[in-house]
Structure 1
Amino acid sequence: MAKNKRLAALRAKVDSNKVYPLTEAVSLVKGNAVAKFDETIELSVGLGVDPRHADQMVRGLISLPNGTGKTLRVGVFARGAKAEEALAAGAEVVGAEDLAEKIQAGELNFDRCIATPDMMALVGRLGKILGPRGLMPNPRLGTVTMDVKGAIAAAKSGQVEYRAERAGIVHAGVGKASFDEAKLVENIKALIDALQKARPSGAKGTYLKNASLTSTMGVGVRLDVTNLEG
């Protein structure tokens, strides 16, 4: 009952029929983030794409200018010197066949997976586990690389992966409720800009269809997308 009253109180502050300017939306979402922990602020964007078609897939990585406020746990598939490099760079989990066995046993103690190119034959066998979780290393995303140190540093410095889901919706954390409003606005604009630049060749008509902002325990606030397009 208390939870329902809390949500009702939050919803009363948001006009569900209104689309809000970005700065006003950020202020509203921050004000509604009243949980006892530092809530994540998440942006959801509806794109005019059908990701089931290869020429309409939207996926990439962006380093947000003010970070995400979250420390990613990194898993790395590597051997020898590259494994040592990964450990020195701060990877939480490093291995080869031993790491594959842990993953197959249900141990996925990481948020980003990186692999050296020579490990992809092994990693490929884990596609059914890593793929649905968005953890499959990908050369286009810079997560299949010999620059293990650089990839780990990027992941831990506020890098966000965005990917259009089946309905063409992208969900991504853009900071914490404790962030200054100006920093959240800057992060959101950076992500929107990245999505615009990632517009696939197969996208026709309206690309940026709708967007909303919310916090972990808050309610969604619709954004005025006409002022988000660059």
Structure 2
Amino acid sequence: MAKVTKRMAKAYEGIDRDALVSVVDAVKAVKGAASAKFDETIEIAMNLGIDPRHADQQVRGSVSLPAGTGKTVRVAVFARGDKAEEAKAAGADIVGAEDLMEQIQGGMMDFDRCIASPDMMAVVGRLGKILGPRNLMPNPKLGTVTPDVAAAVEAAKGGEVQFRAEKNGIVHAGIGKASFSEEDIVKNAEAFIKAISTSRPSGAKGTFIKKIAISSTMGPGVKIDPADAVEA
């Protein structure tokens, strides 16, 4: 059995690990317990009643968090001509075409999001084995294959997070920093929960959202009442 450190034991003081609470109360508890010497990320995890191995039970998409993520996102864009200039003007960190493909094939992975204009997918497709396993492959369903590359760059820089259910039916994401106000974290949490709730796949049967919990990077997890969260 793992040893509980003094810091973690203190963090759990006043927290009922089995109780189901509101989003507001959960955020208050998690933010109050974040005691690391760095600005911890506030994370949310949701256990869904799905089997992602089936095509009709996939949960994948993106959501713009009202208060942003607190994280600096580096964006790479595959585009040419005017689209390339639009991407640069919108704040893209890396813009290119075949030259960018060659850099990535050579091991350059200095970016967190990859966006492409539709005409560039023949080039991007050659990078499937590199970008795919890292969840960086541009995808129309995520808005990362789009003729409006500028808007996609602005969304990525402005607080958009992508989500995808893992094979055990869990979806998770960072929804802010411990330095955020409680109000901003609550807004982000509610936006994420709503996005998942409205992403229910056609093949999902029974209870869709089974469990919800939030935590900070080094802090304890707090369980949220799914019924209360979805109604919020």
TM-score tier (shorter): over 0.9
How far residue 196 of structure 1 moved from its aligned partner, in angstroms, is: 1.1
Letter of the 1:182 counterpart: E
Letter of the 1:40 counterpart: T
Which range moves more in the overlay, 41-50 or 175-184? 175-184
How far residue 185 of structure 1 moved from its aligned partner, in angstroms, is: 1.1
The equivalent of 1:23 in structure 2 is: 24
Partners of 2:101 and 2:14 lie apart in 1 by 48
How far residue 217 of structure 1 moved from its aligned partner, in angstroms, is: 1.5
Letter of the 1:143 counterpart: T
The equivalent of 1:148 in structure 2 is: 149
Kindly tell me: are residues 105 and 225 of structure 1, through their superposed partners in 2, closer, same or farther at Cα, counting changes over 3 Å? same
Letter of the 1:178 counterpart: S
The equivalent of 1:97 in structure 2 is: 98
Could you give the per-residue CA deviations for residues 121-151 of structure 1, whole angstroms, max 9, x where no partner exists?
Answer: 1111211221121111111221111111111
TM-score normalised to structure 1 length: 0.94
Letter of the 2:30 counterpart: V
Partners of 2:184 and 2:12 lie apart in 1 by 25
Match runs of 1:31-110 below 5 Å: 31-110=32-111
Structure 2 SS opposite 1:229: helix
How far residue 13 of structure 1 moved from its aligned partner, in angstroms, is: 4.1
Partners of 1:146 and 1:189 lie apart in 2 by 30
How far residue 42 of structure 1 moved from its aligned partner, in angstroms, is: 0.6
Could you give the per-residue CA deviations for residues 19-67 of structure 1, whole angstroms, max 9, x where no partner exists?
Answer: 2222111011001111222211110001111111111111111111121
Partners of 1:7 and 1:102 lie apart in 2 by 43
Structure 2 SS opposite 1:132: helix
How far residue 101 of structure 1 moved from its aligned partner, in angstroms, is: 2.0
Structure 2 SS opposite 1:228: helix
Letter of the 1:67 counterpart: G
How far residue 15 of structure 1 moved from its aligned partner, in angstroms, is: 2.4
Partners of 2:13 and 2:131 lie apart in 1 by 40
In structure 2, runs of 5+ residues without a counterpart are: none
Count of aligned residue pairs for this structure pair: 228
RMSD (CA atoms): 1.5
Could you give the per-residue CA deviations for residues 142-180 of structure 1, whole angstroms, max 9, x where no partner exists?
Answer: 111111111111111111111111111111111111111
The equivalent of 1:14 in structure 2 is: 15
User: Where does structure 1 differ by over 6 angstroms across 4 or more consecutive aligned residues?
Assistant: none
| Same amino acid, percent of matched pairs | 61
